[in-house]
Structure 1
Amino acid sequence: MDIYQHFRKEEQPFIDQVLSWQDEVASRYERKVSDFLDPREQHIFRSIIGNNEDFVLRDFGGYEASERKRIILAPFYESPLDEEFGVTLLEASYPSKFVTLEHRDVLGAFMSLGIKRNKLGDLIVTDTHIQILIASEIADYVKMNLTGIKKAGVSFEERPLGEVLQTQEEWQEQSGTVSSLRLDVMVKEIYNISRQKAGLFIDKGAVKVNFRKVEDPSFTLETGDLISLRGKGRSVVKEIEGKTKKDKWRIVTAVLK
């Protein structure tokens, strides 16, 4: 069976990487540690490996509720520990009296260093502190070079993973049925707007799927896809449970409140 038929064409390079790791772990008995993966990539990884008893697959992003995670694929007899994932927590404070920082400000400053997005895990931004979970191999570089965000001077220091701040984020889960897994239909259902309005948002480039702008209303969503609608927040497709007797798709989604 052609494994590619179950995934999108643009996901083939990632699938090839997972298959290559699978072969290497099987032949060399050496574990592989991925970069940080978004929920869709995590789903693909697990789908490919499945319940193969020759491997151990564990994920870790620094704390229990993390969205972006690294995955270790290892021979069946190994038991990877949290500290072996290479995840480092950096923290900085900033003068909130003089500047307001948001998630996008911190992400933009991080990306301006020329570091790839897959080296960065979750970002936590409060009224006074910033925490970033990153690949340990770039921690020193980030500490030395990420010294300013907007007009705020910052100095990042390493903290134990147990000191990850509790975020105020709350995901509200909802289930329902849709006639199609098209992007416009799903946006309509998730954000409780008309399909026409959903289509307009998509046409104007206001919708992203897995951090990439999608302007095709017929784009098909799948399990693990992260959606963001400008002005209305983020959501995720948690499960696609199959079809009902009336030929509708049963879905479970969650919206960030």
Structure 2
Amino acid sequence: MSVYEHFRREERPIIDHFLDMKDQVSRYYVSKLTDFLDPRQQKILRSVMGGDQETTLSLSGGYAEAERKRALILPPYSEVQDQDFELSCIEVDYPARFADLSHAQLLGALLGTGIVRSKLGDLIVSDGRIQFIAAREVENFLLMNLTSVGKTGVICRKIDQTSLIHSGENWQEHEGTVASLRLDAVMAEIYHLSRSKVSELVERGMAKVNWQIADRRDFYIEDGDTLSLRGHGRSKIIAIDGLTKKNKIRLRYGKLK
């Protein structure tokens, strides 16, 4: 069975990219380091790697609970050190008594410098502290150019990985039923909104499936998908459990608390 059969058609380009990297490692016996990958991309890469004996895979995002990670594809028997992932950990100092900065504001400010999302790992906002992980090749640029978040002046400084704030995710499981697995129907059930409201938000580019913008309300959801709707949080499909007597589709899903 081809690896393509496990994923959506629109994911074929990244599958091809990973296959090419894997081929270069096995052919030339050199390691390859990816940019930061979201969990869906990590799943695709693991599937591409399979049980191949000619290459090995290692991932790191800077701390154990990291969501976004860089991956190293290596020749067999290679030893991996933390520095091989070329991560930079940065703390953002700001007057926390006078400003309340959010994850969205930080991401907007980082992207506003011209850095692409794939060069950025997790953004950690917790109890008045802000940290983020970035690719080492953009470290100096960000230290010099990230001088404000929103209207608040900030100063960035490099920190050690051991100083990162560790924040685990807390998911709460729910059950529900939907008439179909269309994006608008599933999000309406999960977020307790009308389908018309969900459709409006989807058309405005405020919905994501597996960390990618989904701007079609008739996009079909699958088991294991991670969803998010701006302003309403993140969720994931745990299981699609068949039909009720009234031909509704049973869903088990988790919502991030």
TM range (shorter): 0.7 to 0.9
Q: Which residue of 2 aligns with 1:90?
A: 90
Any unmatched runs of 5+ in structure 1? Answer: none
Q: Give SS of 1:65's match.
A: coil
| Map 1:14-33 → 2, pairs under 5 A | 14-33=14-33
Partner of residue 63, structure 1: 63
Match of 1:128 in 2: 128
The whole-number CA distance in structure 2 between the counterparts of 1:128 and 1:141 is: 24
Find the counterpart in structure 2 of residue 75 from structure 1.
Answer: 75
Cα-to-partner distance string for 1:151-174 (whole Å, 9 max, x where unaligned): 222111111111111337533345
Q: Which amino acid aligns with 1:31?
A: S
Q: 1:205 Cα deviation (Å)?
A: 4.2
Sequence identity (%): 42
Matched letter for residue 164 of structure 1: L
Change in CA separation of 1:251 and 1:20 when aligned onto 2, cut-off 3 Å: farther
How many Å apart are 1:102 and its aligned residue?
0.6
Q: Is the 8 A contact 1:43 1:223 kept in 2?
A: no
* Post-superposition offset of 1:201: 4.2
Q: Which residue of 1 aligns with 2:232?
A: 232
**2:50 pairs with 1:50:** yes
Tell me the TM-score normalized by structure 1: 0.84
Secondary structure of 2:234's aligned partner: strand
TM-aligned CA distance change 1:152 to 1:227, over 3 Å: same
CA positional deviation for 1:116: 1.1
Q: 1:84 to 1:201 in 2, by over 3 A?
A: same
Write the deviation string for residues 125-169 of structure 1: whole angstroms up to 9, x where unpaired. Answer: 234321011111111111111111122221111111111113375
Q: Distance in 2 between matches of 1:222 and 1:59?
A: 25
Where in structure 2 are there 5+ consecutive unaligned residues? none
Q: Cα RMSD (Å) of the superposition?
A: 2.9
Corresponding position of 2:107: 107
> Does the 8 Å CA contact 2:63/2:166 hold for their aligned counterparts?
no
Indicate the residue corresponding to 1:144 in structure 2: 144
Alpha-carbon distance between aligned partners in 1 of 2:177 and 2:53, rounded to the nearest angstrom: 35
1:47 positional shift: 1.4
Partners of 1:26 and 1:120 in 2: CA distance? 28
Letter aligned with residue 55 of structure 1: T
Deviations 1:224-257 (A, max 9, x none): 64322133111234x55x7659899886643221
Counterpart residue identity of residue 164, structure 2: V
Say whether the 8 Å CA contact 1:119–1:134 is kept in structure 2. Answer: yes
- Where 2:97 maps in the other structure, the secondary structure is coil
In structure 2, the residue corresponding to 1:35 is in which secondary structure? Answer: strand
| Corresponding letter in the other structure for 1:120 | L
Corresponding letter in the other structure for 1:119: K
Distance 1:55 1:176 in 2: 42
| Total equivalences in the alignment | 255
